[in-house]
Structure 1
Amino acid sequence: MTNLIEQIAYCEVPAPITAPAQHPVDLTDDTMQLHKEKILMRMKEEKLDALLVYADREHGVNFGYLVGFEPRFEEALLVLHRDGKAYMLLGNESLKMGQYSRIEAEVIHTPYFSLPNQPMGNTQTFAELIQSAGVEKGMKTGIMGWKLFTSSLEDNDQLFDVPYFIVEAVKNLVGNSGLVVNATSLFIHPGKGARITMNANEIAHYEFGASLASSCILSLLDQIEPGKTEMELANELAAFGQPNNVQTICATGDRFTNAVVAPRAKKVEIGDKFSSTLGYRGGLTSRSAYVVSTKEELPADVRDYLDAVAKPYYAATVAWYENIEIGMLGDEMYHLIESVLPKSIYGWHLNPGHLTAGEEWMSSPIYPGSDLAISSGMLFQMDIIPSVPGYGGASAEDGVAIADQALRQELADKYPDVWARIQARRDYMIHTLGIHIKPEILPLSNLNGYMRPYLLNKKCAFKVNKV
């Protein structure tokens, strides 16, 4: 793949002009019913009598997958039985949300999930409240938070990432004749989880956040100038009051000094390393490069940044975009990236690509030895993070949907505006950037493949010159 690096050109490239989605697409009743049916089917396969789905402010997507909303600042628990009966255990300030649940569920006031020192107003113990949701002796019960505790995709089903008081109560209720297991794999296992593939409605729903994040990042890139502060630039990284699914990053120079992650009043200077990240539900966009116009403005010890880091990284992203396809095994993608961007030289260590949805990272089928195949309906984040000692980072991270012909046709028929944006992005990647993606690859970001390694030169970017 060395030849691919030689094909990467840094030259004048028109910036993408596709407008972001202006209106979100809600999930339909049919989609929400499908979610429940998929989970009930997986419960049947695992012979579970009941499933307890935990949620808090940071980890509410699996809960929301079934009920449609996520806790704003409290905890919550959904108890779903194999016959479809559902209960929601909600704290004081989430009680009113019970009426908006997208599936029928009985609400149980659970003050234990409320904020510190709020009125308890309940004489039942937590275990008694769980029992009132139908959890009984002898049941095989799944508890799920948000993590897969695994190194080989064989779940360690006795590790739980939910509060101890929940696990203790459930184990005491089901007793020795029952069984309690970690059931997170039902939702997010990268080969068989219910959530890893999506229909046209879900793709349209998530395209809103992905396109919005990318347009905000492009606006920030266009505003970068010496003397502006991180906070001034970060003003570009908010839109329509939409919730973020990761910490927003806008950092110039050395990152995270004094353990501060959020943007500060630090001023941009020529020669700075610079990184920016914005994630909404459905997609994240991230860019890292140097605040310079030309090679000569780089610090002397990194003047070869373009050839040493940026071009090889960009070649790897091109290889990722051009080769991902339905049926490709995770192991194949992992070793493809290793062949273009050897880990021993470029220092990346995470999965080169992962599934995404409401959360930024769901799980990933891409790892050494993976026999899991890329499937229609998956949403992927192109996420490769080089780390070469002495150099600033290089990043052009965005997301795509994978869709076979039938799913593409459904998306085009039902969501023509979404489809038009996707087609404009495909056209830009293929005809302007020279990245020849396959028909099943649907760019969800307005910036897929667009990278400026020198941030003060806003006319130039990378592209592929095929030979």
Structure 2
Amino acid sequence: MGGRKAELAELELPDFGTPVSEPHLPVELYEARIERARARAEEHGFDALVVYADREHFANLAYLTGYDPRFEEALLVLAPGRQPSLLVGNEGMAYSAVSPVQLERVLYQTFSLPGQPRSSSATLRELLTDAGLRAGLSVGLVGWKYFVREETDEPDEWLELPAFIVDVLRQIGCRLRNANRLFIDPANGLRVVNEVEQLARFEFAATWSSQGVRNVIAGVQPGRTELELAPLLGMNGLPLSCHPILVAGPRTAAFIPSPSAYRLQVGDPIFCAYGVWGGNTARAGFLVEEAGQLPAGARDYVSRLVEPYFAAVAAWYETVGIGVTGGELFDVVHSRLSDPFYGVGLNPGHLIHLDEWVSSPIYAGSDIALRSGMALQMDIIPLTHSVYHMSNVEDGIALADAPLREAFAEMYPEAWARIQARRAFMERKLGIALKPEVLPFSNMPAYLPPYWLAPQFAMRIA
């Protein structure tokens, strides 16, 4: 960025539009994923995979099948030479029709909600045996979290699935190991690199989530409650990846609470985030028109916090690209925001999928090279824990090499036009030079208005 610096300026945020058509994932894509999972498991010494899911931890199962438990739990068994078996509860049987994959759909009522009927299904041991599991098989267990040496000397032996499932698998005589890295390892997990169809789906999601936050900033008013303003998010029924957040005043110290009946006042700190499967957008600032309305100890909010923060954000965007290591990206941020005042404690960016946080290749010393097909969040969070509150401009991008860009443009021209318009805005109006492979998915890409009652004033690099 040379001698350029961040500044507050009056800008016009274009209307990038919202999707007219919805991308869908074909059955062939799911079938290919299952075959890749089987092959990857075999490479790592597993004979079979058992994939667990519940309402919160569903992404690995949905990645393979398109099915996610809505109230219950579920289990997918990929045994050698057998059709995949999906064990679901009472309400999951009908809903399992959402999966286009050829599955052996099996009722296991213990996965149902408490108090519901339990008399029509076999035991778990019988069902797992019927699915092809037997004594001596090396079985990889997939839930949602892997462990590392800093936590335990034997990270592959730590299993986060419910104990009753693990107990039955051991009773059968299976040899068990944690296999989550097959799916979410930031270097080479199956869900780390996305197909063009999945990226188009993420752009669809991120467009809606970002438009919702944009609508809140455009319509926020003092005197109204958080609950009265939350409908501005325009939640349209897309499945959520995290709780919607709209919080102002004293509760912003808690960072991520849900909206309440708190009535907004001029001078309040304010934070908003809206995440759906594949897209999450967040912004933070103050409910003011100009610096004179800021808290007395934070009248220099823009120069003290927002300007250096946005300079780091711009450097992140100008650095991110195929072949860049996570460690390089980490250093770009922390060389600018190393002062403890900024309070940047979490990774300055992470992978996103159906779940809001998959894992992150961006940490100190990381030699993991970013790859074409990755979907990433620009997620630098300076929590000052002071009168300065915070700043935030979280948005999603994807990295795509030339063949992937060509496929995206050909298959999804409507989305591609939005992406190109966003790139042009970031480069020409915000002063952020992007590499060709960087595809912005947000409808307010890197647009950071610190004063929410004057949203036409936002940060740029000059």
Same fold, judged at TM 0.5 (above): yes
Letter in structure 2 aligned against 1:78: L
Task: For 1:198-347, list aligned pairs within 5 A.
Answer: 198-255=194-251, 261-342=257-338, 344-347=340-343
Cα separation, 1, equivalents of 2:380 and 2:335 = 13
Map Cα deviations across residues 60-89 of structure 1 (whole Å, 9 max, x no partner): 111011111201110000001243621011
1:378 lines up with 2:374 in the alignment: yes
How far does residue 129 in structure 1 lie from its aligned partner after superposition? 2.2
Residue aligning to 1:453: 450
1:395 lines up with 2:395 in the alignment: no
Residue aligning to 1:433: 430
Match of 1:195 among 177, 188, 191: 191
Map Cα deviations across residues 41-67 of structure 1 (whole Å, 9 max, x no partner): 211111211101011111111101111
Residue aligning to 1:96: 94
Cα separation, 2, equivalents of 1:260 and 1:447 = 21
Cα separation, 2, equivalents of 1:362 and 1:133 = 28
Cα separation, 1, equivalents of 2:213 and 2:172 = 50
Cα separation, 2, equivalents of 1:217 and 1:107 = 39
Cα separation, 2, equivalents of 1:123 and 1:434 = 62
Cα separation, 1, equivalents of 2:187 and 2:100 = 26
| Cα distance, 1:253–1:134 mapped onto 2, change above 3 Å | same
Task: For 1:397-416, list aligned pairs within 5 A.
Answer: 397-416=394-413
Map Cα deviations across residues 215-270 of structure 1 (whole Å, 9 max, x no partner): 11111100111112101110012332111110100001122689992211211111
**8 A Cα contact 1:77 1:89, kept in partner:** yes
Map Cα deviations across residues 293-322 of structure 1 (whole Å, 9 max, x no partner): 111111111111111111111111101111
Task: For 1:127-142, list aligned pairs within 5 A.
Answer: 127-142=125-140
Cα separation, 1, equivalents of 2:430 and 2:223 = 31
Letter in structure 2 aligned against 1:161: E
Map Cα deviations across residues 1-30 of structure 1 (whole Å, 9 max, x no partner): 7945xx111010111310122332111123
Cα separation, 1, equivalents of 2:83 and 2:331 = 45
Cα separation, 2, equivalents of 1:123 and 1:249 = 40
Cα separation, 2, equivalents of 1:274 and 1:356 = 24
CA-atom RMSD, angstroms? 1.9
Cα separation, 2, equivalents of 1:389 and 1:278 = 22
Unmatched 5+ stretches in structure 1: none
Cα separation, 1, equivalents of 2:257 and 2:37 = 37
1:464 lines up with 2:444 in the alignment: no
Cα separation, 2, equivalents of 1:57 and 1:369 = 34
**8 A Cα contact 1:148 1:155, kept in partner:** no
More deviation, 385-394/189-198: 385-394
Task: For 1:162-177, list aligned pairs within 5 A.
Answer: 162-174=161-173
Q: Which secondary structure state, in structure 1, belongs to the residue aligned with residue 205 of structure 2?
A: helix
**8 A Cα contact 1:57 1:70, kept in partner:** yes
Map Cα deviations across residues 365-391 of structure 1 (whole Å, 9 max, x no partner): 111121110000000000011122412
Cα separation, 2, equivalents of 1:334 and 1:123 = 51
Residue aligning to 1:160: 159
Q: Which secondary structure state, in structure 2, belongs to the residue aligned with residue 116 of structure 1?
A: coil
Task: For 1:8-23, list aligned pairs within 5 A.
Answer: 8-23=6-21
State, as a whole percentage, how many aligned pairs show the same letter. Answer: 39
Cα separation, 1, equivalents of 2:79 and 2:99 = 16
What TM-score, normalized by structure 1, do the two folds share?
0.95
Q: Which secondary structure state, in structure 1, belongs to the residue aligned with residue 372 of structure 2?
A: coil
Cα separation, 2, equivalents of 1:107 and 1:224 = 47
Letter in structure 2 aligned against 1:279: G
Cα separation, 2, equivalents of 1:236 and 1:228 = 12
Letter in structure 1 aligned against 2:30: M
Count of matched residue positions in the alignment of Structure 1 and Structure 2: 460
Q: Which secondary structure state, in structure 2, belongs to the residue aligned with residue 392 of structure 1?
A: coil
Letter in structure 2 aligned against 1:326: I
Residue aligning to 2:67: 69
